[in-house]
Amino acid sequence: MFDPERDDDDGTHRFYVRLLTIVGIALAVCIALYPSVTGFYTGPDGEKTCVAVADGWHGEKPAPDSGSVMAAFASYPPVPAPKQRGDPTFMARFRARMEAVDALPEVQQFNAYQDWLAGPGACIPKSRHRLIVSGIGLGVVAVVCAGVVIVRRTRKNLRRAPAELAGT
């Protein structure tokens, strides 16, 4: 029996196209998120393990004022000569001066900042970069999906007869 209405039965075809579309979008989202969810090593010796999703949200500590730190470090005594290292009284004075400079608040603040940079603060810059890369990737996926939807709807509306468009 000839039935022209049943000739265009693409119900199963549409199902698989939709399924492939969902799989493609999920794969694109996974690729975009990959930099943020994978671990990486950082730190002075690469011994600190970081994950951008967990570590990129922490606030950075402000660096100490470089002028006051340089002035404090300038007050350190010069390194003793080999002949002076053998003199116990000179070395006792040298150590006392070193401890006095180490006790300055500027030096302690700088040392605490350096410890933070080598410890918990080591992950922040690279993690933020990876979060930004993932955000850009997700934005590209969203723009491409929106563009495909707009183009498909526009083309579908152009194929309809003007009478059909006026009736809907």
Q: What is the pLDDT of residue 22?
A: 94
For the entire predicted model, the pTM comes to 0.69
Write down how long the chain is.
Answer: 168
Q: What is the pLDDT of residue 145?
A: 95
* Alpha-carbon gap, residue 57 to 52, rounded angstroms: 8
Q: What is the 3-state secondary structure (H, E, C) of 4-52?
A: HHHCCCCHHHHHHHHHHHHHHHHHHHHHHHHHHHCEEEECCCCCEEEEH
Q: What is the pLDDT of residue 47?
A: 84
C-alpha 30, offset from chain centre = 16
**Using the 8-state DSSP alphabet, how is residue 161 labeled?**
-
Please give the full DSSP string across the chain, using - where no structure is assigned: ---GGGTT--HHHHHHHHHHHHHHHHHHHHHHHHHHHSEEEESSSS-EEEEHHHHTTSPPPPPPPHHHHHHHHHTSPPPPPHHHHT-HHHHHHHHHHHHHHHTSHHHHHHHHHHHHHHTGGGSHHHHHHHHHHHHHHHHHHHHHHHHHHHHHHHHHHHHS-HHHHHH-
Q: What is the pLDDT of residue 167?
A: 62
Q: Locate 114 and state its tokens.
A: 């350096």
Q: What is the pLDDT of residue 62?
A: 87
Q: One digit per residue, pLDDT tens: the chain, 168 residues?
A: 566 665 555 566 788 888 999 999 999 999 999 999 999 998 778 888 999 999 888 888 888 888 888 888 888 889 999 899 899 999 999 999 999 999 988 889 988 998 888 888 888 999 999 999 999 999 999 999 999 999 888 877 766 666 666 665
Q: What is the pLDDT of residue 98?
A: 92
Contact by Cβ (8 Å): 141, 32: yes
